[in-house]
Amino acid sequence: MRGLLILLLFSTSLQAQVVVQLVGEDHQKAIQGAEVIFTNSTGQRLVTISDREGKARCGFRPPVFIQGSHIRFIPINDTVRISNTKIVMKVSTLALDEVVVTGQFAPQSAKNSVYKVRTIDRTQLQAQGANTLQDVLMNQLNIRFGRDNALGTSGIRIQGISGQNVKVLIDGVPMIGRSGVANEIDINQINVNTIERIEIVEGPMAVNFGADALAGVINIITRKGGTSKLSAELILQEETVEDNYSLFDEGVHNAGLTIGGKPSDRIFVQAEARINRFGGWIGDESRFTDRNRQWYPKTQHFGGGLVRYEKDDFSIHYRMDYLNESISNLGSINDVDADTEPFSSDQEFNSDRWMHQLQAELKAGSWLLNPVLSFTDYKRATEAFTTFLESDLEINRREIQNTYYKTLFFRNTASTNRFDWGSLQLGTDASFDRGGGSTLSDGEKEAVDIAFFASAEIKLGEKIALRPGIRYGYNSLYSSEPAPSLNVKYNISEATQVRFGYGRGFRVPSLRELYHEFIDANHNIIGNSELTPEYSHNINADVTQSFKKLTLSLSGFYNHINDQITFFTPQESNAATTYLNLEEFRSTGATINAAWSSAGWRINSGATYIGRYQRLNDEVASVPGFVFNWEANTNIRYRFSATNTTISAFYKFNGSLRDYRLTDPDGDGEFTPELQGIDSFHLMDLTISQAISNSLGITLGARNLFNVTAVDNNFSSGGAHSSSAGSTSVGYGTSYFFRLNYQFKSNN
C-alpha cells in the first residue's frame, strides 16, 4: 500500500509539469544544451537548458508556449498542450520569435498571431534607462505624446487617434484614472520597474477589450518572479534636468527595490517599492521663475506586491499596485508689503490609486478558464495653501477640488482547441464605474457596462487562419450596438505572411466627458451631458517578409469615426473648454519597417506617413482634405561580447503635426476652419550599459541629444503651460543619467 501511494504521488507530480524532448531531424538524436523558454498564459516565464536526453522541464500546467534555440537548429515556437511532447528541430540559425499573449487564446509567437503585435522587452527597457512609460514609447512609430505641464500629465495618440480611444492594460486589466484636458490615461503614473515587457496591438480590439480599444491596446505585462528561493533587485538612478542637478532637489531621483521568493514549490511572493522624484524645470525664464516653473516638481511613490499559487491544472494570483503622486505648483513671491514676511499662494495636485487584481487559470475538461476580478480606487485632489518663505511656514491648507473614480471590473474567458477546425473562445466582462467629487456636476454618477463576446480561430489548411469575432453588451447610459470583427492571416510561405483585419467600434462617453468640471487658474473645463456615442470602422493590413537575418514589413490602416468625442477650446479667454462630437473623423497611414540582427547587432528602422481628416459640423464648411505628417525612427543596439558592454541609440523624427480647428478671426461668432499645429522636431537618446558581474550592472545615458525644449506652433490660443500661442513645450533639453542595477538570487 505504501509503495502504491508513493507511485500515485509520483505520477501526480509528473502530470503537474510539462516535459519536452528536443531531437534533431538527423536520425532523431537528442539535442543537449538547447535553451528552452516556457511561458504560460499569464506571461510568467521559465528559462532552462535541455539535458543529455534533450529534455527540458517546467512546473507550469499545459497549455504552455515554448521557445527553443540552439546554435545548429532553427528555433522552435510552439504551444504544448500535453505533459510530455517530442519536438523535432531542423538545422539552421534563424532568430527566435517573440512570444505574445495579448488577444491570444493561448501564448504563441508573434509570427503566428493573426494580429500584428509589437513587443518591447525588458532588455530594451533597461537599455533606455526609462524613468517613465513615455521614455519607453516616445521613439515608437505611430505613437505621439501631448503634455499638460500644469497637471503634469502625458497623453498618447496612436494611428492619429487620441488617447481616449487607446486601451491601457496591466496584465490584461484596464487602467482607470483618466485625467488632463483630453480625458486620457496618464501613462506616466505606471511603475516601469515592474514591467517585464510591453505588447502593442494597433487597430481595433473592441471584441476582446471593449469600447476604448479603437486605436489599439497597450498591454503592460508585469514581472511575476522566477524559480529562486529568494531574489532581490535594487535600482538606483540619478539624472539631470537639462543642466540642473542637486543630490536631493534638482534633477530626477529614482530608487526601486523588488524582493521575491518561493517559500514552497507552489507559492511565490513578491513585494515592490519605488520613489521617483522630479525637481521640475524653469524653462522659459522670461515667463517662469525658480518657484513658478514651466514643468512642475513631481514626486511619485509606488508600492505593490504579488502572491501566486499553482497546483496541477490550477493557478491563482493576487496583485496589488499603489500610486501616490504629488505635483507642486509654487506661486510667485509676494513681497510688496515691507512689514509682512514674503509669502506665496501655492497648490498641490495629489493623486492616489489602489489597483487590486485577482486572476486565476483552471482547466475544465478541454476548456481553459481565465477569470479576472479587479477593483481600482482613484482620487485626484487639489489643495491650496499659503507659504511664508523666510520662516518656511505653511498655513491654511485646504482641499479646493477633488475627483474620484471607483471601478469594479470582472472578466472571464473560456477557450478550447477541441475542434478539428480550430479554437473557440467565449467571454464576458463587466465594468461598474462610480465617479464623484467637487469637479463632477450634480454629485455622484454611475455607469454600468456588461458585454458578451465570442471569437474563433479557424484553420483552413496549413496556410490560412480566420478569426471572426463579435461583441455585444448593455450600457446603463446609452443603447449599445454590436461590434463585429474579422482577421485573416495567410502564410504565403514559411518566410512570408499577410494579415488583413476589419473591426467596428462603438464607444459611449465616459463619466468624465459627460459631467466633469475643472476650473482653476490654468483650466476652465466643462463636461457635456449631450454627447452621443462614437461609431467607427477600421481596416488594417500588413505583409511581412523574413530573410535569414532581416525582416521587412509593410502595413497600412484606415479609420473612420462618426461623432468622435473631442474637446473644443474657444478663443475667448473666459470661455470654457468643453467636449463635443465631431461629425466625422478619419485617419489613414502606411508604415514600412526593417529589423536586422547579426552577432551582437540589433537594428530596427522604419517610417510612417499618417493623415487625418475631420468634418467639424454641418454649419462649417468641410476642411479641404487629409493632412499628413511623417515619422521615422531608428533603434540600434550593439553588444561587445568580450567585455559584456552594450551601446544603444534611439532616434525618432516627429514630423509637423497639424489639423483643422475652428477659429473666429473677426470675433463676430462666425467660425471657420484653420490649419493649426506644431512644427517637426528630432529626439535622440544614447546609452552605454556595462555588466560588472552576473549581479551588478551600470548604465550611462544622455537623453534628448538635440536639446529640444519647445517647437513653434501657429495656435491662435493656448493654455495650461502646454501649448501657448507661438510654441509648444516638448522636452526639457539634454539630460544625463547614471543607473545602477543590482540583483541577488539564492536557492538555499
Q: What is the pLDDT of residue 12?
A: 40
Collapsed DSSP state (helix, strand, coil) of residue 592 = strand
CB distance 241 to 735 below 8 Å: yes
Q: Are residues 345 and 310 in the same domain?
A: yes
CA distance linking residue 98 with residue 79, whole number of Å? 13
Last residue of a domain, one of 64, 96, 128: 96
Q: What is the pLDDT of residue 572?
A: 59
Distant-in-sequence, close-in-space partners of 315: CB < 8 Å, separation ≥ 6: 40, 42, 61, 308, 309, 360, 361, 362
Distant-in-sequence, close-in-space partners of 46: CB < 8 Å, separation ≥ 6: 37, 38, 39, 58, 59, 60, 226, 227
Q: Are residues 293 and 374 in the same domain?
A: yes
| Residue in 344, 312, 343, 315 with CA at minimum distance from that of residue 329 | 344
CB distance 232 to 743 below 8 Å: yes
Residue 5 within a domain? no
Q: Are residues 123 and 55 in the same domain?
A: no
Distances, alpha carbon 540 to alpha carbons 114, 167, 212, 213, in Å: 12, 18, 18, 14
Q: What single DSSP character describes residue 190? A: S
Q: What is the pLDDT of residue 522?
A: 61
Q: What is the 3-class SS of 626-653, one letter each residue?
A: CEEEEEEEEEEEEEECCCCEEEEEEEEE
CA distance linking residue 748 with residue 731, whole number of Å? 47
Q: Are residues 372 and 413 in the same domain?
A: yes
Name the strand (E) or helix (H) holding 743. Answer: strand 735-746
Name the strand (E) or helix (H) holding 10. Answer: helix 2-15
CA distance linking residue 525 with residue 516, whole number of Å? 7
Specify which residues 272 forms β-bridges with: 258, 304
Q: What single DSSP character describes residue 618? A: T
Residue that the C-alpha cell 551600470 belongs to: 698
CA distance linking residue 590 with residue 613, whole number of Å? 15
Compute how many other C-beta atoms are within 10 angstroms of the C-beta atom of residue 292: 18
Residue 145 within a domain? yes
Q: Are residues 273 and 308 in the same domain?
A: yes
Per the structure block, which three cell numbers stand in for 394?
Answer: 505653511
CA distance linking residue 232 with residue 743, whole number of Å? 6
Q: What is the pLDDT of residue 71?
A: 61
Distant-in-sequence, close-in-space partners of 555: CB < 8 Å, separation ≥ 6: 116, 540, 541, 542, 543, 590, 591, 593
Q: What is the pLDDT of residue 27?
A: 54
DSSP 447-478: EEEEEEEEEEEEEETTTEEEEEEEEEEEESSS
Q: Are residues 667 and 577 in the same domain?
A: yes
Per the structure block, which three cell numbers stand in for 554?
Answer: 509593410
DSSP 297-333: -EEEEEEEEEEEEEETTEEEEEEEEEEEEEEEEPPPP
Residue 107 within a domain? no
CA triplet 180, 184, 187: central angle to 5 degrees? 100
Q: Are residues 247 and 320 in the same domain?
A: yes
| Residue in 254, 253, 259 with CA at minimum distance from that of residue 226 | 259
Residue 7 within a domain? no
Distant-in-sequence, close-in-space partners of 395: CB < 8 Å, separation ≥ 6: 385, 386, 388
| Residue in 593, 563, 591 with CA at minimum distance from that of residue 579 | 563
Q: Are residues 287 and 430 in the same domain?
A: yes
Compute how many other C-beta atoms are within 10 angstroms of the C-beta atom of residue 57: 16
Rounded to 5 degrees, φ, ψ at 148 are: -105, 100
| Residue in 298, 315, 383 with CA at minimum distance from that of residue 348 | 383
Q: Where are the alpha helices (DSSP H) in 324-436?
A: none
Per the structure block, which three cell numbers stand in for 663?
Answer: 477659429
Q: What is the 3-class SS of 69-111, one letter each residue?
A: EECCEEEEEEEECCCEEEEEECECCCCCCCEECCCCCCCEECC
CB distance 319 to 309 below 8 Å: no
Q: Are residues 52 and 129 in the same domain?
A: no
CATH number at residue 446: 2.40.170.20
CB distance 665 to 672 below 8 Å: yes
Residue 128 within a domain? yes
Q: Are residues 75 and 159 in the same domain?
A: no
| Residue in 474, 463, 676 with CA at minimum distance from that of residue 568 | 676
Q: Are residues 91 and 126 in the same domain?
A: no
Residue 33 within a domain? yes
| Residue in 485, 414, 416, 425 with CA at minimum distance from that of residue 454 | 425
Rg value, the chain, Cα: 27
CA distance linking residue 526 with residue 515, whole number of Å? 7
Per the structure block, which three cell numbers stand in for 212?
Answer: 476604448
Residue type, 339: D
Flag residues of the chain having pLDDT under 50: 1-15, 93-96, 179-183, 718-723
Last residue of a domain, one of 96, 130, 146: 96
> What's CA 721's distance to the chain center, in Å?
25
Residue 618 within a domain? yes
| Residue in 336, 301, 307, 329 with CA at minimum distance from that of residue 320 | 307
Number of structural domains, the chain? 2
Q: What single DSSP character describes residue 63? A: S
Pairing of strands 577-598, 524-526: parallel
> What's the domain range around 60?
16-96
Residue 369 within a domain? yes
Pairing of strands 117-121, 195-202: antiparallel
Q: How many CA atoms lie within 13 A of 604 on its CB side?
A: 15
Pairing of strands 645-654, 627-640: antiparallel
Give pTM, 2 decimals.
0.83
CATH number at residue 38: 2.60.40.10
Per the structure block, which three cell numbers stand in for 706?
Answer: 538635440
Q: Are residues 398 and 307 in the same domain?
A: yes
CA distance linking residue 269 with residue 261, whole number of Å? 6
Rounded to 5 degrees, φ, ψ at 533 are: -65, 160
